[in-house]
A and B are shown apart, each in its own frame.
Chain A
Amino acid sequence: MEPINISIKDFRNSLETPSTTWYLWVIILTGISLFGMYALGRQIIDGQIITGMRDNAVWGIYTANFIFFMGLSYAGALISSAGQLLRIRWIKPLLRMAELLTVSSLIVGAPFILFCLGRLDRIHYLFIYGRIQSPITWDVIAISTDLVFCIAFLYFTHIRDFAKLRDYPELQVAPWRKKMYKFLALGYKGTPEQKKYLHQAHDIMAAIIIPTAVIAYSLLSLLFSMSLKPGWHSTIFSPYFVVTAGYSGVAILVVIMWIYRKTNHLEKYITNLHFNYLAFGLVLLTFIYAYFSFSEYLTDWYNQTKTLSLLLDKLFDFNHFAWLSILHIVFAFVVPIIVLGFPWFRSINSVTLVSLFVVIALWVKRYLIVVPPLETPFIPIQDIRPEYAEYSISWVEGSLSIAGITLMILIFTVASKIAPIIPVSEVADAHNLEKPKLLFKTKGE
């Protein structure tokens, strides 16, 4: 791979004083996010009666969002850590996007599970009376640990760029930002000793984030598979969740790449090669995901217990979830295989469009994991009025979900104003990358 000629000066425009359009964009995003906060306020004041959650379907779109955002986060962590540990050169320009994806989706996604709580004022009880036997406690520990690790990892990857920004006197930014760059750069000068320490810190964090992400997302799946509910009580759920996370993470990374490439004119750094490689990854993940999905549905279908049959009937009944199921199948399996599987359909735009479809399909899949099983319990509730037995999304839940997406975009917008979205130092040194470290040395090495 040819070395890329990159400099911090290339990003001067995107880092210096924001334009009016930028401010307008931030105001719009903040406004939508604040409307979501208003919706949350209404929910806290009026109670969960203003959501679609009831006695039967006690979870809904909030839980679907929670799994979806957590999945994006873990996928981002896996991609960035693997890129660092395995010294993959071509992935370097994408690492910061993957790390930002990790942190932003963790910040946005984690609160969604709290919105499901009927008594938010008792949230601290989770820490006071939390029992280690409970999958909820496992999740609280795993997500908080993962958040700290991922923020640290994101910071580690910024240190060299902060040093470059500190040492760039022509950069016209507010004095507080100059001070911030100086403070966060930790006095990094690029001496061999400092390089060694930074590499070591970076490698250690990358190595620990991979198992943390896998464990955390597996634990999330246990929230479902530990419950005796049709469609949830499945041994395949942990690997299935991890594969789904990887699939949705790669897809959204392609979408983010495309947006930054177009808006910040990064064609020099994000090339056809990146789309090509990630498209290959998407095809591979499509088949793995299809394999897991088929295994899950086949075993449920073959079981033929009354409730499982009812659940499968609902999933493919046009009065219930058939449209969503078909959308999921077409967008997650058919379209990626057809468009990405054949060379004459592949282009940067088509890969991005397919990725967007995959992201939508995998959100729908999370909704199908959460809602239909809750609407099909083994022992039905006595009051079977449709508004009690069936879930529907309320304006509060819709507003908070949209606010979640806008908050994530806002984090990306602000973060890419503070530091370049392409890790300049990493990309500049990509051609000097040492070989991956051997974990286990054998005789003769």
Chain B
Amino acid sequence: MNSQIKTYIKYSSSVLTLVLGLFTLICSYTPVIAAKERVRMKLYFSKNDAGERMFSIALTAGSGKNMHGVKNGEVLLTSTLNDSTINLATLETDTLGEVKLYLDAEYILPMDEAGITIIEATYEGNDDYRSASSDIEISDLDFEFMFEVEDSVKYLKVLANRIDKEGNKIPVEELEINIGIQRLYSILPLDKVETDEDGIGVLEVPDNLPGDAEGVLTFVARIEDHDEFGTVLKKASNAWGTPVSYEVKPLPRQLFTDEAPLWMIASVCIILVGAWYHFFLSISKLMKLKKAA
């Protein structure tokens, strides 16, 4: 084989390798038509102390470490009553795939005679995500607090009532209610009570609970994510606590105190005096230099 052919083979094999390499590289970057991701929807209902209600919707896709929220997803919230569907709102999820709808206490949701509201949230999906929907049936629940003292023992009674369409109060029995005390950042849990046939749950309140300066405690009755009522919270205050004065005492050894620590003043003075002494010493040498001229 002559040298020209050898050179030709060498170069053509190099070019072929290069072309194949580039082809592989391009192929590996070709976007794959991905299947639509399955979407999970969670729909929650909650009611706060002021009677304001909130529907919270979360859209998620993926699983494990790849689980993420479906952002900018359009969710239709509807209510079904007697085979007719009423559109409540169209909502858009945020970057975390969540959206919340707040309703003030005066807003009346469509409900049947028993006071049951059926809410459905629907997400139609798009090119990347499949559709998803979720529904809940909720009834309006209200708590009433009663503070009673018998033989020097303090009892907190919580009455749980379901409200029907006409506004009648129907006691709810066998309902487990969490009782706690509102603290600055969170709720201090006290105990759980279960309502009897009259809808009343009773808790014996300890004597040694620290309150504010006047001994006022704010009791919180709460049920969470209940199948029938969602999350409901109600508060009431009573001076059953031990008065505690929360006078703020100045903290020692802090840089935000009015006066600097002595060691700091001394250190700064020593350093500054030392530095500026040497500065003026060198300036005095210059003065001597000028005099010697």
Q: Which residues of A does B touch, CB under 8 Å? A: 131-134, 138, 141, 145, 148-149, 152, 156, 159, 186-189, 191, 193-194, 197-198, 200-202, 204-205, 207-208, 211-212, 215, 226
Contact = CB atoms under 8 A, between A and B. Distances in A.
A64 B222 CA distance: 50
Contacts of B265: 132
Contacts of B268: 132, 138, 141
Nearest to B261: A133
Contacts, number: 75
20 contacts: A131-B260, A132-B264, A138-B268, A145-B272, A152-B279, A152-B283, A156-B282, A186-B289, A186-B290, A187-B293, A189-B293, A197-B286, A197-B289, A200-B282, A200-B285, A201-B282, A201-B285, A205-B278, A208-B278, A208-B282
Contacts of B292: 191, 193-194, 197
Interface of B: 255-257, 260-261, 264-265, 268, 271-272, 275-276, 278-279, 281-283, 285-286, 288-290, 292-293
Contacts of B290: 186-187
B282 A186 contact: no
A187 B288 CA distance: 11
Nearest to B271: A215
A188 B265 CA distance: 41
B255 A204 contact: no
Given A141-B268, A197-B286, A204-B285, A133 B256 contact: yes
A198 B289 contact: yes
Contacts of A201: 282-283, 285-286, 289
A211 B276 CA distance: 13
A131 B257 CA distance: 10
Contact of B272 (A141, A197, A202, A205): A141
Given A205-B279, A212-B275, A215-B271, A186 B264 contact: no
A193 to B, nearest CB: 5
B256 A204 contact: no
A5 B155 CA distance: 102
A134 B255 contact: yes
CB-CB nearest 8 A-B residue pairs:
A187-B293, A201-B285, A204-B282, A197-B289, A133-B255, A201-B282, A208-B278, A132-B260
A208 B293 CA distance: 27
A185 B256 CA distance: 49
B201 to A, nearest CB: 36
Given A134-B255, A145-B272, A186-B286, A207 B278 contact: yes
A269 to B, nearest CB: 27
A186 B279 CA distance: 18
A141 B283 CA distance: 20
A194 B289 contact: yes
Nearest to B257: A133
Contacts of B278: 204-205, 207-208
